[in-house]
């Protein structure tokens, strides 16, 4: 396994490749992302335990979406079973992915724990247990501060696990080492990763403005509300499709054990 340092402009290429690959199999990717989101939502219905289980399974689920992109970019049609790729690669790989999921869940809980210092745990409780997101709660200064703290701390956590599932699955890297290598890769390709994030922000903002404008012209606020959510889901699906390319160009393309 060798780390590749890519030019900053590669970040926009990753966005372009993600969108292009999505439109090669739009129904497949939309369906896979819907299954992914539906599974997370079902787990969230179980207070506390469901959210913790969802966090632990998230790295494996992300790997499944990356595997789907890998298949589509190779001309194959990604079937729903590809989402289980991380959990069908043998006992050793399953154990490693579950350990990675446990590390991610622990890291996320640490983020929530630190955010609780700002608002006494209201933000963390709402995430883990649920509750009504009333205007009073959302406008409370301490709740907003806790939200900002959690967002700021989640960025380094996401970098730690950005490439980790793929490294565990395709390169047989141990969970702790995969987290370290993921962070190193993201930092060494900081320019490309930054441009990747900025480009996606621009794509999401542009798409939101276009969808809101067209929907507003056709039917007013009610149509905007009805159209915006599925449009956001499609854009999120494109984003997850692009994640594979950030990994592919950051490390050797040949997985462990293959020529």
| Whether the predicted pLDDT of 254 surpasses 80 | no
Contact of 165 with 97, CB cutoff 8 Å = yes
> Which residue did the predictor score with more confidence, 133 or 164?
164
Q: Mean of the pLDDT values across residues 175-187?
A: 96
Please state the domain extents for the chain.
10-248
Local structure of 161: helix, strand or coil: coil
The C-alpha atoms of residue 184 and residue 153 are separated, in whole angstroms, by 17
Q: Phi first, then psi: what are they for 142, rounded to 5°?
A: -70, -35
Buried b (16+ CB within 10 A) or exposed e, 11-33: bbbbbebbbebbeebeebbbebb
Residue 135 confidence (pLDDT) = 78
Residue 141 confidence (pLDDT) = 84
Q: How confident is the model at residue 255 (pLDDT cuts 50, 70, 90)?
A: low
Residue 229 confidence (pLDDT) = 81
Q: Which of 197, 199, 224 lies closest to 210, judged by CA? A: 224
| Whether the predicted pLDDT of 2 surpasses 90 | no
The C-alpha atoms of residue 250 and residue 239 are separated, in whole angstroms, by 17
Q: Mean of the pLDDT values across residues 217-222?
A: 69
Whole-number percent of the chain with pLDDT over 90: 63
> Which residue did the predictor score with more confidence, 182 or 131?
182
Q: Phi first, then psi: what are they for 3, rounded to 5°?
A: -80, 135
Find the range with the poorest average confidence among 108-117, 182-191, 206-215, 248-257. Answer: 248-257
Q: Phi first, then psi: what are they for 155, rounded to 5°?
A: -60, -55
Residue 259 confidence (pLDDT) = 33
Residue 20 confidence (pLDDT) = 94
Contact of 120 with 192, CB cutoff 8 Å = no
The C-alpha atoms of residue 136 and residue 191 are separated, in whole angstroms, by 39
pLDDT 10s digits, 38-88? 988 888 888 778 888 999 999 999 999 999 999 998 889 999 999 999 888
Which residues on neighbouring strands pair with residue 251, listed in sequence order? 3
| Whether the predicted pLDDT of 110 surpasses 70 | yes
Torsion of CA 118, 121, 123, 124, to 10 degrees: 120
Q: Which residue has the tokens 């890291």?
A: 107
pLDDT 10s digits, 24-52? 999 999 999 999 999 888 888 887 788 88
> Which residue did the predictor score with more confidence, 119 or 136?
119
């Amino acid at each position: 396994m060798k780390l590749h340092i890519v030019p900053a402009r590669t970040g926009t290429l990753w966005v372009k490749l993600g969108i292009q690959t999505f439109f090669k199999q739009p129904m497949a990717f939309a369906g896979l992302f819907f299954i992914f989101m539906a599974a997370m939502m079902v787990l969230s219905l179980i207070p506390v335990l469901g959210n913790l289980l969802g966090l632990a399974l998230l790295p494996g689920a992300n790997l499944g979406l990356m595997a789907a992109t890998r298949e589509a970019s190779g001309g194959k049609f990604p079937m729903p079973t590809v989402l289980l790729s991380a959990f069908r690669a043998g006992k050793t790989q399953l154990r490693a992915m579950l350990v990675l999921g446990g590390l991610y869940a622990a890291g996320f809980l640490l983020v929530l724990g630190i955010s609780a210092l700002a608002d006494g745990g209201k933000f963390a409780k709402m995430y883990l247990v649920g509750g009504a997101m009333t205007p009073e709660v959302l406008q409370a200064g301490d709740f907003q501060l806790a939200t900002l703290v959690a967002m700021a701390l989640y960025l380094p956590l996401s970098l730690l696990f950005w490439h980790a599932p793929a490294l565990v699955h395709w390169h047989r890297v141990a969970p702790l080492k995969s987290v370290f290598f993921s962070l190193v890769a993201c930092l060494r390709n900081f320019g490309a990763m930054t441009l990747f994030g900025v480009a996606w922000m621009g794509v999401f903002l542009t798409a939101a403005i276009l969808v809101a404008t067209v929907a507003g012209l056709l039917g007013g606020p009610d149509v905007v509300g009805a159209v915006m959510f599925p449009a956001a889901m499609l854009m999120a699906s494109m984003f997850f499709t692009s994640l594979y390319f950030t990994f592919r160009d950051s490390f050797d393309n040949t997985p462990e054990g293959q020529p």
